[in-house]
Homo-oligomer: A and B are copies of this chain.
Amino acid sequence: MATIKDVAKQAGVSVATVSRVINGIGYVHEDTRKKVETAITELQYTPNEVARSLYKRKSRLIGLVLPDITNPFFPELARGAEDEMQENDFRIIFGNSDEKLDKEQEYIQTFVQNNVVGLIASTNYPDTDTYRNLGIPVVFLDRTADNRPSVYSDGREGGRMAAREILARGSRRITVMRGPEHIRPAQDRFQGAIEKLKDQGIAYNVIHTSSFAFTEAGTWAKELFERYPDTDGVIASNDIVATAVLHEAQRLGKKVPDDVQIIGFDDISLSSLLTPSLTTIRQPAYDMGRAAARLLIQLIENKKVDQKTIQMPVTFTERDTTRKVEQQHG
Q: How far is the CB of A296 from chain B (nearest CB, A)?
A: 17
* Segment with Cβ contacts to B, from A45-53, A171-179, A302-310: A45-53
Q: By the criterion CB–CB under 8 Å, are B273 and A214 in contact?
A: yes
* Segment with Cβ contacts to B, from A29-37, A74-82, A147-155, A193-201: A74-82
Q: In whole angstroms, what is the CA distance A270 to B112 when docked?
A: 36
Number of interface residues of A (CB under 8 A): 52
Q: Add 7 more A-B contacts to A48-B115, A50-B113, A82-B95 (CB < 8 A).
A: A50-B54, A51-B54, A72-B75, A214-B270, A247-B275, A270-B270, A274-B274
Which A residues form the contact surface with B (CB < 8 A)?
1, 46-51, 53-54, 59-61, 68-70, 72, 75-76, 78-79, 82, 86, 91-96, 107, 109-110, 112-115, 135, 214-215, 217-218, 243-244, 246-247, 250-251, 269-270, 273-275, 277
18 A-B contacts (beta carbon < 8 Å): A46-B112, A48-B115, A50-B115, A59-B114, A60-B110, A61-B93, A69-B75, A69-B78, A72-B270, A79-B96, A82-B95, A86-B95, A92-B95, A217-B273, A243-B270, A246-B275, A247-B273, A274-B275
